[in-house]
Amino acid sequence: MLVTDLDGTLLGGETDERLSFYSWLRRERQRVLHVFCTGRSLNSIKGLLREQRPMGLQAPHLVISDVGCTVACGTSLQPLPEMLVPIEALWRGKRRKLAPLLKDVPGLSPQPVSTDRRLGYTYQPERFDPALIPRLERHGVDCLLSGERYFDVLPAGVNKGSTLRLLLEWIGIDDGRVVTAGDSLNDLAMFETGLAGIMVANAEAALRSLLPRLPRTYGARAQGCAGIVEGLHHFGFGHLFD
Specify the amino acid at residue 155.
Answer: P
Q: What is the CATH number of the domain that holds 140?
A: 3.90.1070.10
Same domain, 79 and 97: no
Residue 186 CA to residue 161 CA, distance in Å, equals: 9
* Residue 4 β-bridge partners: 36, 181
Same domain, 171 and 226: yes
Same domain, 171 and 74: yes
Same domain, 163 and 233: yes
The answer to whether 172 touches 138, Cβ cutoff 8 Å, is no
Q: What is the CATH number of the domain that holds 80?
A: 3.40.50.1000
The parent domain of residue 80 ranges over 2-86+158-241
Of the three residues 132, 155, 178, the one that is the final residue of a domain is 155
Of the three residues 121, 155, 189, the one that is the final residue of a domain is 155
Same domain, 116 and 46: no
Same domain, 58 and 162: yes
Residue 132 CA to residue 12 CA, distance in Å, equals: 33
SS3 of 150, please?
A: strand
Q: What does the pLDDT profile of the chain (242 residues) look like in tens digits?
A: 999 999 999 999 999 999 999 999 999 999 999 999 999 999 999 999 999 999 999 999 999 999 999 999 999 999 999 999 999 999 999 999 999 999 999 999 998 776 789 999 999 999 999 999 999 999 999 999 998 899 999 999 999 999 999 999 999 999 999 999 999 999 999 999 999 999 999 999 999 999 999 999 999 999 999 999 999 999 999 999 98
The domain tally of the chain equals 2
